[in-house]
Every structure is written in structure tokens, then in C-alpha cells.
Amino acid sequence: MRKYVVPTLLMAGATLASASALRAQEKMTIGISYQNLAFPYVAALQKAAQNACKALNVTCIEADAFNDTNKELNNVETMMSKGINCLAFEAASLEASVASINAANKKGVPVVQFNGKAGGGDYVTFVGSAQTDSGVKLGQFLEGLYKKLGKPKLRGIYLRGVAGQVTDIARNDGLKNYLNSAGLGDKIEFVEQYADYDRGKGQAVTESLLTKDKGYDFIVANNDDMILGALQVTNQFGLNIPMAGVDGLPEALAAIKKGQLAATVFQDPEGQGGGGVWGCYLAVKGVKLPKDFLIPFTLVTPDNVDNFVAIADRVYVK
């Protein structure tokens, strides 16, 4: 299991003597734009990025878009006015975030995308995971559950993130395309509602649905915060419904160890957050980087949960 993308980035820059030699050169300023730091996973990305800034001895200017692409563009323009050498960019939207990349392109500021990837504009490299794959992993979880339960059809709750947001679209596509390819598209039925990646909203939506009907076979969510909100409801109602989310938050891993959650899909904030900063650093130093550094997702179950606890504990804000 690859724990961190930095060694791979350094291999790409093997023509340069060493990381210490890189650090000895002139001071650099990197701008970092985040989707929304209210999300625990994005906060973990920030901690990893800050650790990379410190390790590289570079100045990092950070900004939070709060999932607002107008604010995102204003933030990027403000950072560029301060003379950043590179923009590490976590896109909030597949389409609307292209405006921020285009703004950086016009100013000649190189862009490294990480985690959230916009669908246009010129960028040096993308450091992250193919978000559709996280949906595929959720689909594999449901495929296994379908076989285990032995019912002709399953019906469950699907908690979506923010409507129109790049990661939510990708995860939804990955999940449903996988089920269709596995011949399960008409055998697994979803009751879908958006809960904005928010724990409180995930709890409220789940409570509303379960109050009307407790006969669901599963609950899945496009992040762990929403599934943890749902878990509060199932505990309150005394229900034992198989549930899975995405991210690998420490609380979700702990809930898997306790037998309260069936699974989560782990994505690596160290590799993505730290790798975004390293990608910028090496790009400014003239290292030619491949267009994508992809970090795989892993389905976490009680069988392998211990392998991921240490990574989560390093970067998630306590």
C-alpha cells in the first residue's frame, strides 16, 4: 500500500541532486486553494499540505473557497496579486472552477491540481485519486452485500454530497456504472437525498427517511461524515443496517473496529495534500512531471482496518 506520494514525485525529479539541494535554492511562495475546510477530509489535506510546506521551507498562502466558486476565483486572484510562484488547487466544481485555472493561466502561474479536479484549463499535473474509483469501491461493497443477503433485490438509502460538486458527481457515476456493469443496476435500488457532506444533515435526512420506513437493506454515503450522522440515527432506533461511507475518517475506522459500520473507502490525505505542494515545488524547479499521479482507493473492512488507523491519526485534526 502506497502511503505517501512524495517519494514518487522525487523519483520523477531524479535529475536533481536531492531534496536538501532543492530546499537550498531561492525562497518560493505557493498558493493553496481548498474546496471547503469544514469537511474533515479537506482539513486533513490542509494539515498534510502544511507539513509539506514546512518540510520544503516554502511560504504557503492558503485560502478556503467554502464550496463557492465565485469566492474561489476571488481567492485565487488575491493569492496571485501576492506573487505566488505556483497554485496548488483543489477544485470545488467540475465546470465552474475552470475559471480559476484560466485566471492563473493568463498570469503565467503554473497550476497543480489535487484531490478535486476541474474539467478544463491548463495544469501541470494532478495529484490525487480518480474519484470515480471510490464509487466503484462502494459498488463492490454493495455487490458483496447483495450476494451475502441473497435477496432478489436490495433497497437502500444513498446520501449524496453537494449537488453539482465535482467529487459527488464522480462518486455517483462510479457507483452506478459499476453496478450496471455487474448486472445489478436493476437489483439494487436507491432512495437518494443530498446531505451536503455534513454530519448533521446526514443525520436529519436519515432520521426523516427511517421514521417513515425502517425496511432498508443498506445505507451508503459519499463521505464518512454523512454516514456517521446516519449511524447516530440507526443507533437511536436500535437498527442494524449495513452501512459504508468514503474517506477513512478516524471515527469511521473506529466504528468499523467496533462492528458499527460495515466499511469505508479510504483515500490518502497525506499523498494528496502533501503531494499537491510537492508537485508545485518540483514544477517551479523545472522538473517535468507526468499529467497524473493517481493514488488508489482501498475498501476498508474489519479485516484490514488496522492498516489505515496510523495514517489517519497522523493527519486528521484532533
| pLDDT tens over the chain, length 318 residues | 334 445 455 444 433 434 444 554 568 999 999 999 998 899 999 999 999 999 999 999 999 999 999 999 999 999 999 999 999 999 999 899 999 999 999 999 999 999 999 999 999 999 999 999 999 999 999 999 999 999 999 999 999 999 988 889 999 999 999 999 999 999 999 999 999 999 999 999 999 999 999 999 999 999 999 999 999 999 999 999 999 999 999 999 999 999 999 999 999 998 999 999 999 999 999 999 999 999 999 999 999 999 898 888 877 876
> CA 86 to CA 287: how far, in whole Å?
13
Give the cell for residue 17. Answer: 541532486
DSSP, collapsed to helix, strand or coil, labels residue 115 as coil
> CA 171 to CA 165: how far, in whole Å?
10
DSSP, collapsed to helix, strand or coil, labels residue 299 as strand
> CA 95 to CA 91: how far, in whole Å?
9
Other beta carbons within 10 angstroms of residue 39's beta carbon come to 23
Other beta carbons within 10 angstroms of residue 82's beta carbon come to 10
- Residue bearing cell 454530497: 161
Distances (CA, A) of 232 to 41, 45, 184, 202: 20, 26, 29, 10
H or E element that contains 136: helix 131-149
pLDDT at 15: 39
- The upper half-sphere exposure of residue 307, i.e. CA atoms within 13 Å in the direction of its Cβ, equals 15
**HEC secondary structure over 153-186:** CEEEEEEECCCCEHHHHHHHHHHHHHHHHCCCCC
pLDDT at 8: 54
> CA 242 to CA 60: how far, in whole Å?
42
> CA 138 to CA 171: how far, in whole Å?
9
State how beta strands 86-89 and 125-128 pair. unpaired
**In the beta sheet, which residues pair with residue 218?**
156
Give the cell for residue 274. Answer: 502533501
H or E element that contains 52: helix 40-56
> CA 109 to CA 102: how far, in whole Å?
10
H or E element that contains 205: helix 199-212
Residue type at 19? A
DSSP state of 96: T
Residues 6+ apart with CB under 8 A from 88: 30, 31, 32, 33, 49, 112, 114, 276, 277, 279, 280
Geometric angle at alpha carbon 114, from 112 and 118, rounded to 5°: 85
| 277 in Cβ contact with 270 (< 8 Å) | no
pLDDT at 311: 80
H or E element that contains 310: helix 306-315
